[in-house]
């Protein structure tokens, strides 16, 4: 296997900024890029190498930017392209690189291509950039196949033709405002390549590629064997994703990105099978792929060990670099996922030590460093399209997207100047603000800062070896660092060595439950 060059991103710690929720500079209740620029010191203090920005391009914001109407301009809501330039300059001065989200699988229904397609006749070149099909049944009044949307409801919507009659249907694996692009049409790659070069020329360090296992569709768009796949679910047997044809698309994308040797691509690859996952990371495809096994593992030693082993095994098949994350804008916050309350917080603290000890590339989702819990929002404020599309059966992902608390004792906690934030902030977050945690050596923020500093001093290297431990305990060595996690119910003995950091107080020589320690 060829040895891959040692690029900057191979050991990078990325901080994921959900721009709507990070910091609002203009008082409209929605975070923006000048808000990010104004708070770069927070990221500097954490010691991250890069930022991944969720979508900031022009969008009607039906799926908060994952419905892109103009991929080569920044939405005015986020401050326009000049705000991005200010952020890039300020971040560069601090040695922080900025990675953007790009959305190749679909556009917004407000994208000029889709508007043109709606005005054009069935069979026209404009319609060929998307998936327009005649319906089934009498008068074509049933969708072309049985596919369902990942967000709920049918994956097809019917259009009205120029003569005013109900006409063809178009495919949208997500919201109806997110029509899927037809990557067999050469315009699609040509335009995507233009978008990549446009941003790389402006100093962006690379891209997080949305739904990187999507794009290619099965020829003939056959029915799904079962539509009972769950919303927001990711199954390897789902015929709508991970088609063999997707790899040629990644090779074409990589050829463009390779014109910029420092640039990095990170694919959102919801593929469980290791061999299938590894295909995306062959030397001429993506640089990195999100492996979600750690997110999906419970606070259980066997599950965590399995997630770590398989994540390493998958990249090992092709000599690629592993990536690790505990949370993102699509999943429940870690504190809540691990049980909520004091227990959930203790486990999330312990898992932070596990995450930060792992070899390769890390992603920290904004707010995880504050230990923010998932927020139980009232029905009336929910915005995720999943809520409506699921017929109010699935509350969607708003609970992990609530704005960050920076300072003060009442909402909006320094996030904005208005209390009318795009999602309401819980009244009891005063102790979770950055300002409050800043002065508290026992806070989650202090733990993240300390551990990230120690990670820089003790680089984990490339490999991981397991150390003998009881069943409920994980113990592994990366570089000169040993990480021990007690996921059991009883205090556990620590191996020989010196504790340099712990997620909670030790009981004498013992590691209490829901606690992790770093040792040298
Ligand atoms: C990805 C994004 C998610 C978005 C979806 C559709 O899964 O992470 O937030 O809704 O793609 O673009």
Q: What is the mean pLDDT of residues 194-211?
A: 98
Predicted pLDDT at 234: 83
CA distance 463 to 360: 9
pLDDT tens string 146-163: 999 999 999 999 999 999
3-state secondary structure at position 406 = coil
Long-range residue pairs from 83-91, CB within 8 A, at least 24 positions apart, any chain = 83/32, 83/33, 83/34, 83/37, 84/33, 84/56, 84/202, 85/202, 86/33, 86/34, 86/37, 87/33, 87/34, 87/36, 87/37, 88/202, 88/203, 88/204, 90/37, 90/40, 91/37, 91/40, 91/51
Pocket test for ligand 1, best of 111, 149, 173, 174 (most atoms within 8 A of CB): 174
**Which residue range forms the structural domain that includes residue 242?**
8-106+185-451
Say how many C-beta atoms besides its own lie within 10 A of residue 84's C-beta.
26
Tell which atom from ligand 1 comes closest to the C-alpha of 106.
12
Residue 75 confidence (pLDDT) above 80: yes
* pTM (2 d.p.): 0.97
Same domain for 252 and 221:
yes
Predicted pLDDT at 391: 94
451, 482, 505 — which closes off a domain? Answer: 451
Report how far apart, in Å, the C-alpha atoms of 132 and of each of 162, 221, 362 are: 15, 11, 40
Same domain for 348 and 443:
yes
pLDDT tens string 431-479: 999 999 998 999 999 999 999 999 999 998 888 999 999 999 999 999 9
Residue 257 confidence (pLDDT) above 90: yes
Same domain for 317 and 218:
yes
Same domain for 148 and 253:
no
CA distance 444 to 439: 11
Q: Which residues line ligand 1 (CB under 6 A)?
A: 63, 66, 103, 174, 210-211, 268, 329-330
Same domain for 43 and 125:
no
State in Å: Cα 29 to ligand 1 middle: 22
Domain annotation covers residue 154: yes
Residue 1 confidence (pLDDT) above 60: no
State in Å: Cα 16 to ligand 1 middle: 14
Pocket test for ligand 1, best of 63, 181, 387 (most atoms within 8 A of CB): 63
Handedness of CA 68, 64, 337, 499 (dihedral sign): positive
Same domain for 116 and 95:
no
User: What is the CATH classification number for the domain harbouring 396?
Assistant: 3.20.20.80
Same domain for 275 and 200:
yes
Domain annotation covers residue 513: yes
Catalytic residues: 210, 259
Residue 85 confidence (pLDDT) above 90: yes
HEC profile of 206-224: EEEECCCCCCCCCCCCCCC
Asked if residue 257 lies in contact with residue 263, where contact means CB atoms within 8 angstroms, the answer is yes
Same domain for 116 and 99:
no
Question: In b/e form, how buried is each residue of 295-315, taking b as 16+ CB within 10 angstroms?
Answer: bebebebeebbebbebbbebb
Q: Whose CA is nearest to atom 7 of ligand 1?
A: 211
Predicted pLDDT at 3: 67
Domain annotation covers residue 301: yes
Q: What is the mean pLDDT of residues 269-284?
A: 97
Predicted pLDDT at 86: 98
Pocket test for ligand 1, best of 16, 20, 67, 210 (most atoms within 8 A of CB): 210
Domain annotation covers residue 179: no
Domain annotation covers residue 285: yes
Same domain for 116 and 100:
no
Q: What is the mean pLDDT of residues 299-318?
A: 98
Rg from Cα positions in the chain:
23
Domain annotation covers residue 485: yes
The neighbouring-strand residues paired with 160 are 166
Predicted pLDDT at 462: 82
pLDDT tens string 14-64: 999 999 999 999 999 999 999 999 999 999 999 999 999 999 999 999 999
Tell which atom from ligand 1 comes closest to the C-alpha of 329.
9
Same domain for 98 and 117:
no
């Amino acid at each position: 296997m060829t040895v891959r060059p040692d690029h900057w991103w191979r050991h990078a710690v990325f901080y994921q900024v959900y721009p709507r929720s990070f910091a609002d500079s203009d008082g409209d209740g929605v975070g923006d890029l000048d808000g990010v620029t104004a708070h770069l010191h927070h990221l500097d203090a954490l010691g991250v190498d890069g930022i991944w920005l969720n979508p900031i391009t022009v969008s009607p914001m039906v799926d908060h930017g994952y419905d892109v109407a103009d991929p080569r301009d920044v939405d005015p809501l986020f401050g326009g392209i000049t705000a991005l330039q200010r952020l890039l300059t300020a971040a560069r001065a601090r040695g922080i690189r900025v990675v953007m989200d790009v959305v190749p699988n679909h556009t917004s229904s407000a994208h000029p291509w889709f508007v043109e397609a709606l005005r054009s006749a069935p069979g026209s070149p404009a319609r060929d950039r998307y998936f327009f099909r005649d319906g089934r049944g009498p008068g074509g009044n049933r969708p072309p196949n049985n596919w369902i949307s990942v967000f709920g409801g049918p994956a097809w919507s019917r259009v009205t033709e120029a003569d005013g009659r109900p006409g063809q249907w178009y495919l949208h694996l997500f919201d109806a405002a997110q029509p899927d692009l037809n990557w067999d049409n050469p315009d699609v790659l040509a335009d995507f390549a233009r978008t990549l070069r446009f941003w790389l020329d402006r100093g962006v360090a690379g891209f997080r590629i949305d739904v990187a296992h999507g794009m290619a569709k099965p020829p003939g768009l056959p029915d799904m064997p079962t539509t009972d796949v769950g919303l927001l679910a990711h199954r390897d047997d789902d015929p709508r994703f991970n088609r063999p044809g997707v790899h040629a698309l990644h090779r074409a994308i990589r050829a463009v990105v390779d014109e910029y040797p420092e640039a990095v691509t990170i694919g959102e690859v919801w593929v469980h099978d290791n061999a299938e996952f590894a295909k995306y990371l062959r030397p001429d495809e993506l640089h990195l792929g999100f492996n979600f096994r750690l997110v999906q593992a419970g606070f259980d030693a066997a599950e965590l060990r399995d997630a770590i082993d398989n994540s390493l095994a998958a990249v090992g098949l092709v000599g690629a670099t592993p990536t690790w994350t505990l949370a993102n804008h699509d999943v429940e916050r870690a504190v809540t996922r691990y049980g909520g309350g004091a227990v959930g917080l203790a486990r999330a603290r312990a898992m932070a030590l596990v995450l930060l000890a792992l070899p390769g590339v890390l992603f920290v989702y904004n707010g995880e460093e504050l230990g923010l819990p998932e927020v139980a929002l009232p029905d009336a404020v929910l915005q995720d399209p999943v809520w409506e599309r699921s017929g109010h059966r699935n509350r969607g992902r708003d609970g992990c997207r609530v704005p960050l608390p920076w300072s003060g004792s009442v909402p909006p906690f320094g996030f904005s100047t208005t209390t009318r934030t795009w999602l309401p902030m819980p009244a009891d977050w005063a102790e979770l603000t950055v300002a409050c945690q800043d002065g508290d050596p026992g806070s989650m923020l202090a733990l993240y800062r300390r551990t990230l500093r120690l990670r820089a001093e003790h680089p984990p290297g490339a490999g991981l070896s397991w150390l003998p431990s009881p069943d409920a305990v994980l113990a592994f060595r990366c570089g000169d660092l040993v990480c021990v996690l007690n996921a059991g119910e009883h205090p556990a003995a620590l191996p020989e060595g010196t504790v340099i950091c712990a997620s909670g107080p030790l009981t004498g020589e013992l590691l209490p439950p829901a606690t992790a320690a770093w040792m040298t």
